[in-house]
Structure 1
Amino acid sequence: MNETNDGFTVALLDASVGETPAERNFGRELDADVRAYKVSEGEFPPQVETASFDVDAVVVSGSQTSVYDDESWIGRTEAWVRDAVDAGVPLLGVCWGHQLLAQAVGGEVEPMGGMGELGYETVRRLEDADPLFDGVESSFLAFETHTDEVTALPASATPLAETDRSLQAFRVENAWGVQFHPEYDRDTARWVTENKRGWLTDEQVDAILDTITSGRHAETAQAARVFDNFLAFARRRHPMAEGRSLDDCSVQDTHNS
């Protein structure tokens, strides 16, 4: 995608470690001017509510780390995200970003045990009316790769989706988290699974690889709709839209619980 030239800018907080497909995948899926910041290497956007802050929405990527790891950049990212939520900046956290958002607003993240969720899973929506899932079916297929999960949310957050094993989406103010990976293409799904060798047995890895077919992956198109829905929501709060400033846009809307 990334064909829109309307001055709408998304800051991508890339929490992945080392060379990964994260920036490429989000750049392809987000129809906006995407500015990537490698937060795992200490690169951050300007602080929210300062004169130099000039982005319209924020996306936080996945990572090979845990959000509760004792790394200075993780604590700094959590504080930055908390400030963005408090300021009403539209924000979407994906996988690790979903967990970090939960932790930043007072939720809890813990290890799942075992191999977690790896591969295609059926996600079930819990709420009928939320803009992130406009046009998305009540259950849909998504690719998962995580061994931590959000186990508790603050009272201000609304759970939005789940699998049989874990919370898959929630909303707090103008921010959402999704545990699944709507940005993955088939090559990334295979790359991530191959990298599990040594942690999982070859038989386990091969069994998951066998499911990553072009036909199967095409079924995740419903999951990818969350990007268009998120950007549509964020554009309604674009500082230049209809001559309004961000302060003119209420943090609440008719979909917020």
Structure 2
Amino acid sequence: MCGICWGHQTIALVFGGEVVDMAMPELGVTEVTLTAAGERFFKPQQEALTTCATSPPTTLRVQQHHRREVSVAPPEFVHLAADNQIFLSPNNNILTIQSHPEKDAQTAKLRIGDVRRWFPEGVGTEDEVIKRMELPHDGLAIWERILRWALEEG
């Protein structure tokens, strides 16, 4: 099972984690720092990742679009990234990701109205958010890794 964004949050809740409203929601491409386990997990995709100048990769560039976050991780899940951004279940059957690897800039910009709704102050203009949405990201490489993970024997 793979949970993305709300699915990531829901799976965390079901398995004993906690979800809270963020002080400042996220829209656009951001960098997520991988843990050592995350570096090993994403190593098969290293050459396809946009930010990987080192071996193994230490960050992923991801499209974000959320106003809630996992504040407490589900017990025993492996952290693949800092700040509760990516989890893997201990039995390798559940992978969860807070970001949106399925979104490209065009798709992300469909929700530009959320800037006014979610970000009344402090994150910049709609034009600035659009520029963040247009930054290079690792969505395709993340999807390729998800598909490889789904085919792995458990």
Q: Say whether the fold is shared (TM-score over 0.5).
A: yes
Query: Cα distance 1:194–1:135, how it changes in 2: closer, same or farther (>3 A)?
Result: same
> TM-score normalized by structure 2?
0.77
Select the residue among 227, 230, 241 that pairs with 2:143: 227
Alignment of 1:111-150 (within 5 A): 111-113=21-23, 115-126=24-35, 127=37, 128-130=39-41, 134-136=44-46, 137-150=57-70
Matched, 1:177 2:114: no
Q: Which runs of 5+ in 1 are unaligned?
A: 1-90, 238-250, 252-257
**Shift, 1:180, TM fit:** 1.0
Q: Secondary structure at the match of 2:40?
A: coil
CA distance in 1, matches of 2:75, 2:114: 37
Structure 2 CA distance for aligned equivalents of residues 120 and 236 of structure 1: 29
Instruction: From the superposition, tell whether residues 212 and 147 of structure 1 become closer, same or farther in structure 2 (CA, over 3 Å).
Output: closer
Structure-2 change in CA distance of 1:110 and 1:207 (3 Å): same
CA contact (8 A) 1:110 1:151 kept: yes
Gaps of 5+ in 2: 47-56
Deviation at 1:188, TM superposition (A): 1.1
Partners of 1:117 and 1:145 within 8 A in 2:
yes
Matched, 1:99 2:34: no
Identity %: 28
Equivalent runs, 1:20-99 vs 2, <5 Å = 91-99=1-9
Q: Which residue of 1 aligns with 2:129?
A: 208
> Displacement of 1:198 after TM fit?
4.2
Alpha-carbon shift at residue 204 of structure 1 (Å): 2.9
Residue 224 of structure 1: CA displacement?
2.6
Counterpart Cα distance in 2 of 1:104 and 1:96: 12
The answer to whether 1:196 aligns with 2:107 is no
Question: How many positions carry a matched residue from both structures?
Answer: 138
What amino acid sits opposite 1:208 in the alignment?
Answer: V
Report Cα offsets for 1:145-166 as digits up to 9, x if no partner. 111111112332011113xxx3
| Distance in 2 of aligned mates of 1:125 and 1:143 | 15
- Give the aligned CA root-mean-square deviation in angstroms: 2.2
Divergent runs of 4+, >4 A: none
Shift in alpha-carbon separation, 1:125–1:201, aligned structure 2, 3 A: same
